[in-house]
Structure 1
Amino acid sequence: MAFYEVYSHPALIRYKTSFCTRATLFVVVVFCLTYISPLLVAYRSQGFWVKRSTYEEQPVVRFQYQMLLVGATGLTGEYVAWSTFPNFNRLLEGNLRIPAVSVQEEDWNHDGKPDRLILQLAIPLKAGEQVYSIQLLLMFSYQLFRMSTVVMQTLALLQYSSSVPGSQLFVSGDLRLHQRIPLPHRGLHTSYNVSVVDSASPFASAYDLAKIIRTYQERNLTTHLSCPAPVWMVGRAAYAPFQMNVEIRYPCSTYMPGFWEMVKFAWIQYVSVLLIFLWVFERVQTFVFQNHVLPTVAAPVLKLHQS
């Protein structure tokens, strides 16, 4: 007579022992290895906590129409200069050269935030004057809103020098945010929302580029112009102005994530490793107790089912 299976259910077997036994110690060790080992593995893999993160936010960068220009016209200290600060221009006397300035801000994606600045300057020169180096300081308003709310005044320094007199300088770069510390994930930061240059000062020391940059670099948040390859052109015609063509783009930044964002990332790392350890040590315990490697008392739990 043939038999076939009509019903099946798993049998639960409980292994019992007293408190101070090797079996108890084994279970404690296995528990620690199961739940603590994944924590150590995930932590040592350098991917447990998210300490820094990035996000896509177009900063609101506005050119302040404030500039300071210094150009060396000789090898023995001759120079020409100009700025948008009247007090500085009064100090220049015969070295003042007022350029023709053209400024255009472009919004490529039409989100109301400028994406690029195009700046053109034509610096008039006297007969016999040649430009060997140029320094240009540009002031910006820089704002972030999505995570940290940051409102500050920043600058970009553009400079180039050559032993050969030039006729034109072309620069294309990115205005990048430089952080000594990550931005927190929330809060308002306006401590740097002050003018980089003290334009009210009548003293020449207030417009010294070295002093301005030294003070500016002491900040935790700054911007700098990243320009890998400025182009210096030679062959200027007599009485022709020195031309400067500048293109500046505004890319994104890093911030410090909040507590729950860190926990969310850490939980994913921990559980992914924990599942492996649960599978391994579940089979280790089954082998140890089913084969009586450690002394325990097997107490099967029977369940009665009505047919």
Structure 2
Amino acid sequence: MAVYEVYSTPVLQRYKAGICTKTTLFMILAFLFTVIPPFLVAYRSEGFWLKEDFYREQPSVSFKHQIMMVLDLLDSSYLTWSTYQNYNQLQQDHLRVPLVKTREEDVNRDGRPDMLHYNIEVPLQDLEQVYSAKLILIFGYKLNRFSSVRMESMAYAYHTGPVPISLFNIEGELKLQLKEPLAHKGLDTRYDVPVINSESIFAGDYQLTTIFSNYARRNVTTKLQCDYPVVQTGRGAGQPLILKGTIHFPVETIPYVPGFWQVMKFAWIQYLAVLVLFIFIMERVKNFVFANQIVTTVVERPYPLVSKNHYH
């Protein structure tokens, strides 16, 4: 009569031994060999502990209507103006008040400005010729997705050339600059302080070298990145110098230090991937050792051994 398999189940066979035996020592070594080498393999393969990760966020940027302008003339003199009263009082002989127009625009209507348009018209005398223009615009900058960052930042636009200019136009982006990753949570207000100390009555505190030196010490700053500056020369009689441009506030890719649970989740996935392979290998080794009684054990079978197979 033909016989075929219609169903199968595993048979549990138990191997028993005393505590202080070679068998127990073998099982301890087998356990250690199963769990420790996967950790070493995953750790030595680099990237086991997630030390830095990235996310993207649209910052909340607002123009604070604070400006400082310095124009260098061909006769080694200069003209300047700012929105800081103390600075203007210190620069009476060089002060030149411009006509300033600014407009923030929210293109995608998400409640956050996407760009700033500005137009500054500086009245000049016909004999005044500007060859260098320096402009600082002050912004409030916020990040909210992971760590909540609050700071005052700036955009610095400048042009220096050998010939007098009549227009300086930029189309750029206010880019976030980080010297170290941000935290994954918490409130960071380390730099929520004025870029320019408007309360000071000392001229040295308003010098560009002082402002830039203090700003460069920060770990978190913004920088105006302009790949398309446009400069025009040939100013007509009675015409003002025009400083204008558009500053975009792009979505930023921000590095941050992951939290404990994110680090553990990332490490566990790598460890588990290697652990599965070692478990598979060790199970085969233990099956061979106990089946061939390489270490002494007491075998408990669910049924007595028989010399022949019987079919019913």
In the superposition, the TM-score normalised over structure 1's length comes to 0.86
Matched, 1:56 2:50: no
After superposition, where does 1:181-196 map in structure 2 within 5 Å? 181-196=180-195
Distance (Å, rounded) in 2 between the aligned partners of 1:303 and 1:249: 80
Please identify, of 222-231 and 112-121, the stretch whose mean Cα deviation from structure 2 is larger.
222-231
Query: How far did 1:300 drift?
Result: 4.3
- 2:205 and 2:46 map into 1 onto residues whose CA distance is 47
- For residues 7-156 of structure 1, the aligned pairs below 5 Å read 7-16=7-16, 24-74=24-74, 77-156=76-155
Change (3 A) 1:113 1:3: same
* Counterparts of 2:53 and 2:16, CA distance in 1: 50
Cα distance, 1:109 vs structure 2: 1.8
- Which residue in 2 is equivalent to 1:208? 207
Q: Aligned equivalents of 2:24 and 2:232: distance in 1?
A: 82
Letter in 2 for 1:150: V
Residue 279 of structure 2 is aligned to residue 282 of structure 1:
no
Alignment partners' CA distance in 2, 1:195 and 1:172: 25
Letter in 2 for 1:210: T
Tell me how far apart the structure 1 counterparts of residues 171 and 235 of structure 2 sit (CA, whole Å): 21
Instruction: Quickly say closer, same or farther: Cα 1:220–1:19, change in 2 above 3 A.
Output: same
User: Using the alignment, how far apart are the partners of 2:301 and 2:172 within structure 1?
Assistant: 75
How large is the RMSD of aligned CA atoms in angstroms?
2.7
1:47-92 CA-to-partner distances (Å, cap 9, x unmatched) read: 3233223333322211000000112122x63211111112222222
Counterpart of 1:273 in structure 2: which amino acid?
V
Query: How much has 1:6 moved relative to structure 2?
Result: 5.0
Distance 2:124 2:58 in 1: 39
Letter matched to residue 73 of structure 1: L
In structure 1, distance between residues paired with 2:104 and 2:261: 39
User: Structure 1 counterpart of 2:208, which letter?
Assistant: L
Instruction: State the distance in 1 between where 2:217 and 2:280 align.
Output: 54
Change (3 A) 1:28 1:249: farther
- Conserved 8 A contact 1:137-1:155: yes
Q: Quick check: 1:240 aligned with 2:229?
A: no
> For residue 52 of structure 2, what is the amino acid of its counterpart?
R
1:153–1:285 distance in 2 versus 1, CA, 3 Å: same
Q: Secondary structure of 2:13's partner?
A: strand
Secondary structure of the residue aligned to 1:34 is helix
Q: 2:299, 2:127 → 1: CA distance?
A: 107
**1:126 offset after TM fit, Å?**
1.7
| Structure 1 residue aligned with 2:263 | 262
Q: Could you tell me whether the CA contact under 8 Å between 2:140 and 2:153 is conserved in 1?
A: yes
**Counterpart residue identity of residue 103, structure 1:** T
| C-alpha distance in 1 between matches for 2:199 and 2:156 | 21
Checking the alignment, whether the CA contact within 8 Å between 1:11 and 1:300 is kept in structure 2 is no
Q: Which amino acid aligns with 2:276?
A: L
After superposing the two structures, state which structure 1 stretch, 115-124 or 12-21, moved more.
Answer: 12-21
d(CA) in 2 for partners of 1:92, 1:104: 28
- Distance in 2 (CA, whole Å) between partners of 1:7 and 1:171 is 79
2:17 and 2:298 in contact (8 A); partners too: no
The alignment of Structure 1 onto Structure 2 pairs a total of residues equal to 303
The residue matched to 1:12 in structure 2 has which SS? coil
In 1, Cα distance between the equivalents of 2:247 and 2:287? Answer: 66
Distance 1:146 1:164 in 2: 47
Structure 2 unaligned blocks of 5 or more: 305-311
Conserved 8 A contact 2:175-2:225: yes
